[in-house]
Structure 1
Amino acid sequence: MKTINLKKLAIPLLVLISTLLTSCFEHDTPFTNQPSRQPEKALNGIWKDEKLLNYYSFQKIDQHHLRIIISKFSLNNPETITNQEVIEAFVHTLDGTNILVSQKISRGDGEIYDLKKWGYFPYEFVDDGEQLNLSVIGVETNAKTEAVRQALPNLKEKAPSIILRKTNLQRLPSRVPEHDEREHSLRAKEAKLKQLEKKLSEHEQQVKALQVEPNLKILNEECTFISWEKDGEEVKGVEISFNLKNNACKRAVKILAKLTCSEGEWEKKIEYTFKENETVAFSAKFDEPSDKVSEVEYQVTIRNL
């Protein structure tokens, strides 16, 4: 698997939007100072993160404001809080979406880059109020209400950024409860096992490709960010291009080009019948990655049909 840093490529078509949200809390002033409703009573209590060893306490400050305290743990040290953050928030409803307009008040790790900054978190209850789904609105720093409104429809197509489950705890834990520790430890082992299985499978495929294709040679590999026309419209994405030289007799092959980045993994398949001693140029175009991606990995595998 080869890694390409797209930021280092001298390609004028690559546009990096550095002004987009890089932290959940980045705004100096909120898009609104006005609560539009009281927070639901169902928010109050202790919640736990579905993916991380984080616990959230939602407490009512007054009629419209909440204090949210987040205690963070690690699986390596479940007996000690690694960081604790305090957030104050109110609810503003925009186009039918409830948003926690939130300000970072303090954090225990000594970092100050997002203190007193604001962030916007649309939320919804599911599973009869036992689960709280939180999303993050990514807009330009100090964006106005209209920019926030325009960002809302995109969130419906994405999975929640944070999934919280209601607990029976009366207060934030000083250490990870044993059953949560066991559950997260099991998940971590399963994830590690899947990762090892994936690497083993990729290695076996590479070995198999080398064994069955000794007379095929890949030349002039490139991975670049380009634009092209698709269905009458200009699209941008990543192209893997290469020449494939057949040093043997006529043969049919399947070419698999795989692209991996922080936004996902995609594959393109090409089937081709080579003539004897033929060299052919191939390319695989991926319009799935956005122009926010800075680094990709790619792999080309060839097999006989």
Structure 2
Amino acid sequence: MKKYILTAVGLAAFTLLAACNNEDTTADDAPIVVVNGTEITEGELVSILKSRYGDETLSELVERQAILGQQENSGVTQEEIDEELDYLKTNLQIETDEELFEALENNFNIHVTSVDQFIEGYIIPPLVIEALAKKDVNVTDEDKQAYYEENQEMYEEQVEASHILVTEEEEAEEILEKINAGEDFAELAIEYSIDGSASRGGELGYFPRGQMVPEFSEAAFELEIDEVSEIVQSEYGYHIIKVTGKKSTFEDFEEEIAAALEAQQAKSGPEVLAEILDEADIDVRDSRYSDLFSNEAPGAGADEEE
């Protein structure tokens, strides 16, 4: 999932600034910490935060708001937004909103208090950027066929497989018996496999011949879809392999080829963002930030000020 997010530092700074600025301005001189008898006031804290992070954070906020203003034009749907949120929850293995907020803070240092806030700040912007980047893309059947023929070496036969890896043959035999008795392959991989793929239920994705060690590759390419291998020994231990997919023809790779061609034709994210900002109506009401959103070259207008 492509992300367009505020930097963690910028977001934290903005949160503090917003909280402080929402307070009564008379609180600026109120001490928040006293060190060896010397007071540090809220006003000092806000001033330092603005000087260090103000420009960067304000720029990011303006960019985000300008992007949100292009949602309708981009064609991004509620279904796409929901899919992105569901994808994230699935990958983080969470169900409730509270678990989502906790996971975002612990894993990404993102603090939100509502799902709508997260969607607006972190899901919609990258979807809009991606949609606008691809808006004028047009990949034809002829384009895809030509690309396939010109890049045959990239589209050799591949298999999609999962595996369970253990160090002892006896343990492998016990696991294979459980599989043959109908127990779930992915759950057994999570429980027993010592490979890094265990957390994904043993999933390895697609791979061509020669990418894996010879014993593993040979066994995998001999299996049919949904077939489970006998125990395969390699230098890493004892494998049980399950093939879940195969690709060998143009039709098998067509979606992948289309995506590659779309990426070639699409505009870059920075290019799309520049166009969005150029079209946006940005009214800067604090002269301290005027230069951030000026289209003039640096130094322009200096003669008039003299």
* Greater per-residue strand proportion: 1
Q: TM-score, normalised by structure 1?
A: 0.24
> As a proportion of its length, which structure holds more helix?
2
TM-score (normalizing by structure 2): 0.24
